[in-house]
């Protein structure tokens, strides 16, 4: 069982930055693929980015060049650095984990989820 706890959300003006963190329990963190998803009001949860066990990364097109995912296996933590934020980035951001080193892009491919953290970008 893996428990995930996100932090770092908040309110920021357009063009600003935020850094989200996700702390994971367990002793096999380095073997998990970690992902970030987001869900805006009235919309389905959508893939944002993922990082595999060998640090391979994937990004949805709308955040490429603005968001960066990284992980610190010694701290069992994954980060999401978000720069040049836009109002359309406003959503609840969820951290997710799946067994295996190969990143996945779909919600159902992740077995473990955090509680979510709100990110609000004002125009």
| d(C-alpha 66, C-alpha 84), whole Å | 6
- What mean pLDDT, rounded, does the chain reach? 95
pLDDT of residue 113: 97
Among 12, 44, 33, which residue's Cα sits nearest to residue 95?
A: 33
Among 97, 93, 98, 82, which residue's Cα sits nearest to residue 115?
A: 93
Q: What is the pLDDT of residues 66-109, one digit of tens each?
A: 999 999 999 999 999 999 999 999 999 999 999 988 889 999 99
Check pLDDT > 90 for residue 119.
Answer: yes
Q: What is the pLDDT of residues 15-65, one digit of tens each?
A: 999 999 999 997 788 889 999 999 999 999 999 999 997 889 999 999 999
pLDDT above 90 as % of the chain: 88
Q: Which two tokens stand for residue 75?
A: 């701290």
To the nearest 10°, report the CA torsion of 102, 38, 61, 18: -100
Counting every residue, how long is the chain?
123
pLDDT of residue 103: 83
pLDDT of residue 27: 76
């Amino acid at each position: 069982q893996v428990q995930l706890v996100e932090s770092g959300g908040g309110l920021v003006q357009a063009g600003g930055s935020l850094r989200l963190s996700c702390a994971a329990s367990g002793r096999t963190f380095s073997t998990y693929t970690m992902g970030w998803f987001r869900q805006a009001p009235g919309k389905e949860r959508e893939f944002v980015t993922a990082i595999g066990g060998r640090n391979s990364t994937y990004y949805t097109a709308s955040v490429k060049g603005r968001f960066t995912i990284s992980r610190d296996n010694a701290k069992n933590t994954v980060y999401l650095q978000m720069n040049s934020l836009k109002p359309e980035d406003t959503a609840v951001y969820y951290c997710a984990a799946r067994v295996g080193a190969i990143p996945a892009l779909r919600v159902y491919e992740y077995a473990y989820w955090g509680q979510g953290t709100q990110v609000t970008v004002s125009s």
